[in-house]
Amino acid sequence: MSVPKSQRLHIALFGRTNAGKSSLINALTGQSLAIVSDVPGTTTDPVAKAMEILPLGPVVLIDTAGIDDVGKLGELRKKKSYEVLDKTDLVLLVIDPEKGFGEFERDIVKKAEETGTPLIYVVNKIDIHPEAKKYELPEPKVFVSALTAEGIVELKQTIVNNAPKDWTLPTVLGDLINPGDVVICVIPVDKAAPKGRLILPQQIVIRDIIDNEAIAMVVKERELLYALSLLNKRPSLVVTDASVYNKVAADTPADIRLTSFSILFARYKGDLQTLVEGVLTVKKLKPGDKVLIAEACTHHPVEDDIGRVKIPRWLRAQVGGEVEIEVKAGSGPLPDNLTEYSLIVHCGACMLNRKEMLSRILQAKRAGVPIVNYGVIMAHIHGVLHRALSPFPHLQGMIDEAEKEVKAEIEILKKITERAIYE
């Protein structure tokens, strides 16, 4: 099975028009993957290429438009290029000796610093500008020729040396289980299930179970009780699809930990605690509030689509009135007008890398808008959130504290009401 793009180190190439970014990608891969032309503006939208750089492993190289692009269309191309930083783990700033190092390059360096993204200075075209090797630039820097491949090996080594140490995604559930444990994965086969295969989170969870020397048992929700009766030892964990929370929660004994693929991915791809904090604000929603449904992919919606039909229906029932729902599908940053929303409900983010999901969470935090994901909000709506967080006792404690505060508020309101009636 090939490594999903979202699990690869993302390396973005930035530079002026015709600095040789596309040629450099071809030199790094040893293949003609990117279109090379002397015509300015050949690269328009960012283009991602999956490859292997040993010993670093699977990576994605992202070719961007020139940072000196001009005109109205050029500004749009530059905006698209800058958005790439939200999902970039390492920047290659490609410098053309003919144009030098100036305002455009300094802008990229500044933006990389703001996002905490490591940057490598790559001076290209040394085959025709050998004097460029005398450039005084901060480390790390590499001098290359994309045409002759001079310096490409050194560039690969520099990438290896400067890749962020923590870019690798944490295990999905390996820290929650021990070798020899049995983990039951409950996977319903309904209209939303792809024909003939499992969806990406299910694949990754099952592989992680196996990689951690545990035993994966896969059943549909109707088979869970029968599967439990077959086992000589109790499973360490049951992982379910969020769409069948109630059935699985009812059939799983209380002393067996239970969670969902979406909750595991909330931790795997982002910040589970922030998403749980977000769901605790759902009770504050009022009729007329705006809610953003954010999806990372542009899948074809099914008849009872989770993001476009089920969650909006549940939210309207929760607030007892109409809630304005807007859907944003696809990668890239969330909309600029986030302050207009009272809540962001995000998908499981299986198609985003961790940095991009964290960027979206930070974007929501900066706007002061609570954010939650599908698995967490569905557990809350079905009344099983506390149970679905059983592998994470500290988060259960956070929910308990929030519930105590709500009960205390209710008691205060009750006393005020009784006093008003008495008076």
Tens of pLDDT, residues 247-297: 999 999 999 999 999 999 989 888 899 999 999 999 899 999 999 999 988
Query: What pLDDT, on a 0 to 100 scale, did the predictor assign at position 87?
Result: 85
Which one of 162, 187, 211 terminates a domain? 162
| Residues 196 and 333 placed together within one structural domain of the fold | no
> For all residues of the chain together, what is the average pLDDT?
87
**Domain containing 48 — which CATH number?**
3.40.50.300
Q: Quick check: helix, strand or coil at residue 259?
A: strand
Lowest mean pLDDT among 61-75, 146-160, 207-221: 61-75
Residue 145 has pLDDT above 60, yes or no: yes
**Domain containing 249 — which CATH number?**
3.40.50.11420
Range of the domain at 308: 271-386
DSSP secondary structure string for all residues of 49-117: EEEEETTTEEEEEEE---TT--HHHHHHHHHHHHHGGGG-SEEEEEE-TTT-S-HHHHHHHHHHHHHT-
| Residues 47 and 118 placed together within one structural domain of the fold | yes
* Residue 188 resides in a domain: yes
* Residue 239 resides in a domain: yes
Residue in 297, 300, 237, 273 with CA at minimum distance from that of residue 373: 273
* Residue 139 resides in a domain: yes
Mean pLDDT to the nearest integer, 182-198: 85
Residue 1 has pLDDT above 50, yes or no: no
Question: Sign of the C-alpha dihedral, residues 71, 74, 79, 85?
Answer: negative
Q: Is the CB of residue 241 less than 8 Å from the CB of residue 209? A: no
pTM summary value: 0.72
| Residues 316 and 244 placed together within one structural domain of the fold | no
* Residue 277 resides in a domain: yes
Helices (H) and strands (E) in the chain, counts: 14, 14
Mean pLDDT to the nearest integer, 386-396: 95
| Residues 83 and 130 placed together within one structural domain of the fold | yes
Which one of 103, 137, 162 terminates a domain? 162
| Residues 26 and 131 placed together within one structural domain of the fold | yes
Residue in 34, 37, 36, 38 with CA at minimum distance from that of residue 48: 34
Residue 40 has pLDDT above 70, yes or no: no
Of the two residues 310 and 44, the one the predictor is more confident about is: 310
Q: How far apart are CA 138 and CA 120, in angstroms?
A: 9
Q: How far apart are CA 262 and CA 373, in angstroms?
A: 8
Q: How far apart are CA 400 and CA 94, in angstroms?
A: 52
State the distance between the two ends of the chain, measured CA to CA, in whole angstroms.
Answer: 73
Q: What is the DSSP-derived secondary structure letter of residue 222? A: G
Bridge partners, 91 (sequence order)? 12, 119
Q: Is the CB of residue 12 less than 8 Å from the CB of residue 85? A: yes
| Residues 278 and 403 placed together within one structural domain of the fold | no
DSSP secondary structure string for all residues of 264-318: HHHHHHS-HHHHHHHHTTGGG--TT-EEEEEESS-PPP-TT-IIIIIHHHHHHHH
Strand order in the sheet with 47-53: 47-53, 57-63, 9-15, 90-95, 119-123, 141-143
Which one of 264, 283, 309 terminates a domain? 264
* Residue 168 resides in a domain: no
| Residues 124 and 10 placed together within one structural domain of the fold | yes
* Residue 294 resides in a domain: yes
| Residues 342 and 220 placed together within one structural domain of the fold | no
Instruction: Report how many domains make up the chain.
Output: 4
| Residues 151 and 229 placed together within one structural domain of the fold | no
Q: Is the CB of residue 268 less than 8 Å from the CB of residue 170? A: yes
% pLDDT > 70, the chain: 87
Query: What pLDDT, on a 0 to 100 scale, did the predictor assign at position 33?
Result: 52
